[in-house]
Amino acid sequence: MFISHFNNLLALPKPKMCCTPSLSAVSTDHGGKKTMHDSEKALLLCSGETKKRISEMFNKVELSVSSYDTAWVAMVPSLNSPGVPYFPQCLNWVLDNQLPDGSWGLMDRPLFLVKDTLSSTLASVLALKRWNIGEEHVNNGIDFITSNFASATDEKQHTPIGFDIIFPGMIEYAQEMGINLHLGPTALNSMMQTRDLELQGGTASNSEGRKMYLAYVAEGLRNEQDWKEIMKYQRKNGSLFNSPSTTAAAAAHLHDDNCLNYLHLTLERFGNAVPTAYPLDIYTQLCMVDSLESLGIARYFTREIKSVLDKIHSCWLMKDEEIFLDIATCAMAFRILRMHGYDISSDVLAQYGKEGFSNTLAGYLKDTSAVLELYRASDFMFPDELFLAEHKSWSNDLLKEELSKGTMHANRLSEQIRKEVNVALNYPYYANLPRLENRRSIEHYDTNNLRILKTSYRPINLDNKDLLKLAVEDFNLCQLIHGKELNQLEKYGLYFCFNIFWDTMFNNDKRLL
C-alpha cells in the first residue's frame, strides 16, 4: 500500500520550471560509481546562485516607498516658518516622481488598483498646491484624476483601507485650496453619500475598533477629528499606527515633537520618501520564514532563519510594540517561534477572543489575514491553553463565513488570501504531509508580492520569483531522488520477500523431514 501511494505522489505532474532534471540525469557507470550528467550539474549550479540571492534577502528589509504617504509628509509646515515645508526633501521627491500619465504611485500597478492611484495622485497634487510649486505637475495630475474618476465608485476596483473616507476628504481640501477637479456632480454626490454612511458607522459606532479606525484615517477627516484625542494611540516610536500619513497629519495639526522625530527617523532609513507603514521588519521577516518553510526549502537557510528568530524572540520577551500591537504579526510570531522550540507564553493571545478581536483595528476592518493567523496559531496550543481552542472555533467559523461571502479584506489581495484560507481550513497543520504541503504551496504561491494598506506596497528586497524557482527545482530534484530510491525498494524488496519465503519453506521442510 505504501509503495502504491508513493507511486501516486511521484506520478503527479511536475510544477513548471526553467530546467527540470530528467530521470536519466544521474546514472551509474560499470564500476557501480554514480556519475552526474550535465543537466544535473546545471541544475545544482542554478540552485546555488538562487540560494545566494535568497540568503542576501535576510540582511535588510526594504519596502517600496509610497507617493501617498510621502505627499502627506511633504504637507507638514515648518514650526518657525509656516509658509515653507518642514520636509522639503519630500516635496522635491513628489516633483521628481510623477509618472508619464500624470499620476503618482506604483509604476507597474495592476488595472484593479486605480483607486489606489487616485489617492496617491490627489495627495501629491495637494502637496504641490499647498506650497504653490509645480503648476504643470498639478495640471497633469488633475487631468488624470478627472479622466479616471469613475473608478472611484467602481465596486470591481480594489478599495484601499479608508479610501471611502480619505479620498472625499482630500477632494474637500482641494476645493478649499481652489483646485477645480472638473468632477461631475452625480459621481461626486454618490461618493459623499458613501462617506457619510461609513461615518455613521451603524451598530459599531461606539466600539474601540471603530475609534481606532477613524484615528487611523484621520488625515481624511482633518478638522472634524479631535487630534488630541487620537494621540492616545501614539506609539513609543512616536508614530500613530506606524503610518507616516496619519503621523504627518497629526504633526501638521499639533506640531508634536515625537511625531516629527518618527518622520525624521523614517526618512533617514528610506531617503527622501517614506513607505506606507514603518517599521514592518518583523512582519516581513516572519513572512519570509513562513514562505521558506511552506515551500520546503527552509533547510537551506537554517543559519539565517535561526538568526532572525533569535532576534524576534528577544523582541517578544521585551514586548516590542511592533509585534504586540499588530494581531497578524503577534499570532505569526507565536506560531513560528513555538514551532521552532522557543519557550514563549500564549498569554498575549488570550485577549483576542471573538469579542476582544472585534474591539481592535483588524477586527473592525474584518481583516482576514489577522483571523487566519490566529486560526493557524491555535494549532500550537498546549493542553492547558483552552482559550486557544476557543480561538480555533470562532476563527474557523468567521473564515468560513467570509469565504462563502466571497468578499475578503486583507493586507494581501483578495484572491490570494482566499486560496490561503481554503488550504488552512481543508488541510490542518497536524494532518499535513510535508511534501504534499510543499506542492500545494508551490502551486498557490503568489510571486507578485503586492500588498495593500492605505496604499499598495511591496517588500522590494524579497524576490518571490527566486523563492518559487528554488522551491520548484528542489521539489523536482527530490522527486528524482525518491523515484530512484523507490526503484531500489521495489527491486530489492521483492528479492528479500522471495528469500524470506524460500527460507521459511525450506526450514519448514527440514522440520517435516
Question: What count of other Cβ atoms lies within 10 Å of the Cβ of residue 208?
Answer: 15
Which range scores top for mean pLDDT: 24-33, 77-86, 94-103, 346-355?
A: 94-103
CA pair distance 110, 217, nearest whole angstrom: 24
Query: What is the rounded (10 degree) CA torsion for 419, 421, 427, 432?
Result: 80
Q: Which of 27, 18, 25, 23 is nearest to 47 (CA)?
A: 18
Distance of alpha carbon 375 from the chain centroid: 17
The pLDDT value recorded for residue 155 is 86
Burial of 203 (0-12, 13-18, 19+ CB in 10 A): exposed
| Mean pLDDT, residues 275-280 taken together | 96
Cell representation of residue 456: 499598495
Question: What count of other Cβ atoms lies within 10 Å of the Cβ of residue 56?
Answer: 12
CA pair distance 377, 388, nearest whole angstrom: 8
Question: What count of other Cβ atoms lies within 10 Å of the Cβ of residue 332?
Answer: 26
Q: Show the CA angle centred on residue 401, arms to residues 400 and 404, nearest 5°.
A: 85
Model confidence pLDDT, tens digit, residues 391-420: 999 999 999 988 887 655 666 567 788 888
Q: What share of the chain is helix, strand, coil (3-state, %, to 5)?
A: 65, 5, 30
Contacts for 460 with CB less than 8 Å, ≥ 6 apart: 62, 63, 64
Domains and CATH numbers, the chain: 67-270 (1.50.10.160), 279-474 (1.50.10.130)
Query: What is the rounded (10 degree) CA torsion for 156, 161, 164, 170?
Result: -120
Check residue 320 and report its DSSP letter. -
Model confidence pLDDT, tens digit, residues 74-90: 999 999 899 999 999 99
Distance of alpha carbon 345 from the chain centroid: 25
Mean pLDDT score of the chain: 86
pLDDT at 109 over 60: yes
CA pair distance 233, 25, nearest whole angstrom: 60
- Return the amino acid letter for 499: N
Report residue 277: phi and psi, to 5°.
Answer: -155, 140
Model confidence pLDDT, tens digit, residues 178-225: 999 988 888 788 888 989 888 887 555 678 999 999 999 999 998 888
Helix (H) or strand (E) holding 267: helix 257-270
